[in-house]
């Protein structure tokens, strides 16, 4: 047992750091780069140019051939530099489905733009009213000559407003016995006539998710991935495929660092004692650091098992549960640090549901704290609620 990084791993870390200093320099760090379509794509393309956009892919399709430990180091350094986390839709979701189950023609057509960012994918899984019961989907795709005609709707579609294409689960055989049967995996151009996108505004005013409606949308049958009615297999593959950084450990460490800086920033407190002189706040930080350390080493142990071929499996539920619990705790500490200045709504959101925002008050860091705390509630809901993750542990690991 040896928990030190090897010389080779240490050299790799230096390589990553050097890349980040150039591609994501200091002036972009510290939440100074707003998340927009262009800013995100700029970063995506820099990683792509360096050949690092899809570390976990097989090398023949554009992967890096890194060990899980290298990926861990890469993720950690990127988080320490405040770089945008890579969105899962292209790299962890549709890409692996296409290179695993797609036709050669599909691989050739879709993989390069998926890697380069020329296609921005979004995910068409959830449907209104279905919640975590994904397989109960009702969006229909009916074969009509060389096309499918798609009718229905998808929801919680993250960043659909930016997307070029959507990968969808659709029902192609409504008469199949079990609800998991008769589902197909379809790639759909978002510019197809009959598609409309309705923004869903979340607490604090963010527009991150959408509902996507399909009304007689014509989709070439060439866009079917794999076999008709076998979509559930690919969907399950996708759900269990990429677990790297599922716990968000690196982002949480980085957030704690920022929180400690804020809590010690004398300018914010003047003659009053700073938050770092408040024993209760210090205790909360220390507890979180200790819990985060336990989580980090649990993830490292899981990565090591993966590296030695053991696979991750249902243990990933542990990482998801604990990771999201800690992210939520940290977002609450930020809110507490903002104090009264957590209350004002002063974000420029540019959509009609947002209440009027007229003035800028309080310290910069405080502006987003409440909205972020609200937004982080999603982490224990999306991707299978934490209740469902506990069901999985009980069933799959403990055999209950």
Binding site for a second copy (CB under 8 A): 279-280, 283
- Given other proteins, a second copy, none, residue 47, with its beta carbon under 5 to 8 Å by kind, binds none
Mind giving me the DSSP string for 131-156?
A: TT-GGG---EEEEETTEEEEEEEE-S
Tell me the window of 34-42, 114-122, 247-255, 365-373 that interacts with other proteins (CB under 8 A).
Answer: 365-373
Number of residues that bind other proteins (CB under 8 A): 102
Rule CB under 8 A: say whether 371 interacts with other proteins.
Answer: yes
CB of 373 to a second copy, least distance (A): 22
| Shortest Cβ 365–other proteins spacing (Å) | 13
Rounded to the nearest whole angstrom, what is the least distance from the CB of residue 312 to other proteins in the complex?
Answer: 13
Half-sphere CA count of 361, side-chain side, radius 13 A? 10
| Residue 279 C-beta: closest distance to a second copy, Å | 5
Q: How far apart are CA 292 and CA 282, in angstroms?
A: 15
Q: Can residue 383 be called a binding residue for other proteins (CB under 8 A)?
A: no
Which residues lie below 8 Å from residue 349, measured CB to CB, with a gap of 6+?
Answer: 205, 206, 207, 357
DSSP 226: S
Task: Find, among 311, 318, 329, the residue nearest to 296 by Cα.
Answer: 318
**Alpha-carbon gap, residue 167 to 124, rounded angstroms:** 6
Site residues (CB under 8 A) for other proteins, limited to 225-264: 260
By C-beta, is 307 or 336 nearer to a second copy?
A: 336
159 binds, among a second copy, other proteins, none (CB under 5 to 8 A by kind): none
C-alpha dihedral, 274 to 292 to 132 to 163, nearest 10°: 70
Give the integer Cα–Cα distance in Å for 108 and 216: 28
- Of the candidates 34, 271, 309, 348, which one interacts with other proteins according to CB under 8 A? 271
CA distance 41 to 324: 26
* CB of 245 vs a second copy, minimal distance in Å: 33
321 binds, among other proteins, a second copy, none (CB under 5 to 8 A by kind): other proteins
C-alpha torsion sign, points 255, 260, 266, 270: positive
For residue 168, give the nearest of 200, 207, 141 by alpha carbon: 141
Nearer Cβ to a second copy, position 394 or 396? Answer: 394
Task: Work out which of 270, 309, 348, 350 binds other proteins, going by CB under 8 A.
Answer: 270
- For CA atoms 207, 330, 56, 73, the dihedral sign is positive
Cβ closest to a second copy, residue 208 vs residue 291? 291
Only one of the segments 18-26, 43-51, 113-121, 339-347 lies at the binding site for other proteins (rule: CB under 8 A); that segment is: 339-347
Applying CB under 8 A, which of residues 114, 155, 157, 251 lies at the interface with other proteins? 155
Least distance (Å) between residue 198 CB and other proteins:
11
**397 lies in the binding site for other proteins (CB under 8 A):** yes
Pairing mode, strands 165-171 and 121-124: parallel
* Residue selected from 19, 110, 315, 334 as contacting other proteins according to rule CB under 8 A: 315
CB of 280 to a second copy, least distance (A): 7
Using CB atoms within 10 A of its CB, is residue 345 exposed (0-12), middle (13-18) or buried (19+)? middle
Q: Which two tokens stand for residue 52?
A: 């690092």
Instruction: By CB under 8 A, name the one of 308, 309, 348, 350 that touches other proteins.
Output: 308
Q: Which candidate in 77, 127, 211, 242 is catalytic?
A: 242
Q: How many CB atoms lie within 10 A of CB 54?
A: 25
CB 75 within 8 A of CB 81: no
Binding to other proteins (CB under 8 A) within 46-105 occurs at 69
393 binds other proteins (CB under 8 A): yes
Q: How far is CA 210 from the centre of its chain?
A: 15
**Cβ-based nearer residue to a second copy, 50 or 283:** 283
* Distances in whole angstroms, Cα of residue 289 to Cα of each of 102, 250, 303: 43, 12, 21
Give the binding range for other proteins (CB under 8 A) out of 16-24, 109-117, 182-190, 329-337.
329-337
34 catalytic per annotation: no
Which residues are known to be catalytic?
A: 242
């Amino acid at each position: 047992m040896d928990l030190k990084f090897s010389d080779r791993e240490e050299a790799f870390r230096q390589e990553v750091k050097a890349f980040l200093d150039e591609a994501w320099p200091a002036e972009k760090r510290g939440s100074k780069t707003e998340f927009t379509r262009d800013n995100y794509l700029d970063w995506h393309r820099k990683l792509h140019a360096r050949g690092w956009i899809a570390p976990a892919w097989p090398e023949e399709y554009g992967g890096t051939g890194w060990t899980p430990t290298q990926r861990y180091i890469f993720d950690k350094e990127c988080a320490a530099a405040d770089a945008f986390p890579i969105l899962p839709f292209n790299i962890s979701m549709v890409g692996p489905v296409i290179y695993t189950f797609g036709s050669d023609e599909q691989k050739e057509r879709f993989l390069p733009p998926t890697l380069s960012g020329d296609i921005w994918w979004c995910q068409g899984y959830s449907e209104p009213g279905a919640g975590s019961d994904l397989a109960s989907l009702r969006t229909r795709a009916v074969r009509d000559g060389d096309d499918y005609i798609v009718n229905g709707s998808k929801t919680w579609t993250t960043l659909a407003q930016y997307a070029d294409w959507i990968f969808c689960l659709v029902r192609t055989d409504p008469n199949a016995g079990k609800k998991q049967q008769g589902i197909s995996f379809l790639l759909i151009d978002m510019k197809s006539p009959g598609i409309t996108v309705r923004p869903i505004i979340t607490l604090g005013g963010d527009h991150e998710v959408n509902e996507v409606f399909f009304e007689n949308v014509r989709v070439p049958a060439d866009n079917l991935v794999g076999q008709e009615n076998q979509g559930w297999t690919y969907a399950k593959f996708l759900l269990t495929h990429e677990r790297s950084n599922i716990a968000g450990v690196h982002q949480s460490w980085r957030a704690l660092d920022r929180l400690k800086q804020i809590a010690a920033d004398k300018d914010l407190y003047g003659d009053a004692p700073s938050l770092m002189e408040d024993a209760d706040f210090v205790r909360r930080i220390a507890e979180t650091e200790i819990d985060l350390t336990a989580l980090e080493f649990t993830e490292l142990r899981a990565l090591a098992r993966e590296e030695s071929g053991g696979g991750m499996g249902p243990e990933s539920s542990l990482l998801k549960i604990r990771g999201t619990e800690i992210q939520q705790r940290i977002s609450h500490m930020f809110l507490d640090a903002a104090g009264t200045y957590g209350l004002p709504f002063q974000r420029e959101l540019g959509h009609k549901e947002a209440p009027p925002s007229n003035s800028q008050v309080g310290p910069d860091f405080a502006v987003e704290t409440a909205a972020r705390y609200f937004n982080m509630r999603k982490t224990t809901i999306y991707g299978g609620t934490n209740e469902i993750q506990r069901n999985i542990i009980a069933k799959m690991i403990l055999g209950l």
